[in-house]
Amino acid sequence: MNADVKTGSSYRQEQAQQTRQRIAEAAQVLFARDGYAVTSIEAIAKEAGVGTRTVYAAYGAKREILNVICERWLERARARELAAEILEEPEERARVAGAARWLTVLYSTDFDVVRILDGAMDEDAETQALLRSKLRGRNRVMDSLIASVEPVLVVSLAEAQAVYRAFAATGVYQELVVNSGWTPARFQEWLRGTLVAQLLGG
């Protein structure tokens, strides 16, 4: 049998994956434009060009679409891989600079997702649990970046980690980049300089 000829099963799987992706993309557009809370499954189905039952069959619940949107964002930003690369830097200042780069790359890859996640924090308990898990994962990465330079910190490790997490507040990037017109490169350089000054003493 020709290896290039797809079986019926593999074709259906590919079609199903494409449908899931189209649904997630449609949902992201609506979540960003209208808000997570007010966006219905019916609206997502219409935007994606599929039936409502197809959305339920593909995801089951709206929060599962949110989970996929978040994971696709992290993959596009190479968030996990980038953190590992930064931790391999031999020099502490380079790792602090890398911490600024990590946050900038994450937010500049798709800041709409950040705002969607923020806007969904007041939803049902299951959605809140999902978002808290995502936030804990982000904070673990951020804390590990700062912990890697603990020997040269001029403040306590806990304080240094808190300072870095404070700069990850959505409002900081929103105000400087989205509202004030800073480029991501300018934000990254500002954050690098600020972290060096606050955590390493200049």
- Mean pLDDT, the chain, as a whole number? 93
Indicate whether 105 and 159 sit together in one domain: yes
Shared domain for 135 and 42, answered yes or no, is: no
C-alpha distances out from residue 155 to 2, 90, 152, 160, 190, Å: 64, 21, 9, 6, 20
Domain CATH code at residue 29:
1.10.10.60
52 shares its domain with 73: no
Give the structural domain span for 81: 69-200
Tens-digit pLDDT string for the chain (202 aa): 455 555 667 878 888 889 999 999 999 999 999 999 999 999 999 999 999 999 999 999 999 999 999 999 999 999 999 999 999 999 999 999 999 999 999 999 999 999 999 989 888 899 999 999 999 999 999 999 999 999 999 999 999 999 999 999 999 999 999 999 999 999 999 999 999 999 999 7
1 is a domain residue: no
Query: Percentage of residues in the chain with pLDDT exceeding 70?
Result: 96
* Residue 100 and residue 173 in one domain: yes
pTM of structure = 0.88
Return d(Cα 198, Cα 6) in angstroms, integer: 57
Q: Is residue 3 in a domain? A: no
- Identify whether 172 is part of a domain: yes
**DSSP per residue, 100-126:** HHHHHHHHHH-HHHHHHHHHTTTS-HH
**Together in a domain, 97 and 179:** yes
Q: Are residues 19 and 91 in the same domain?
A: no
Burial environment of residue 36 by CB neighbours within 10 A (0 to 12, 13 to 18, 19 or more)? buried
Q: Tally the domains of the chain.
A: 2
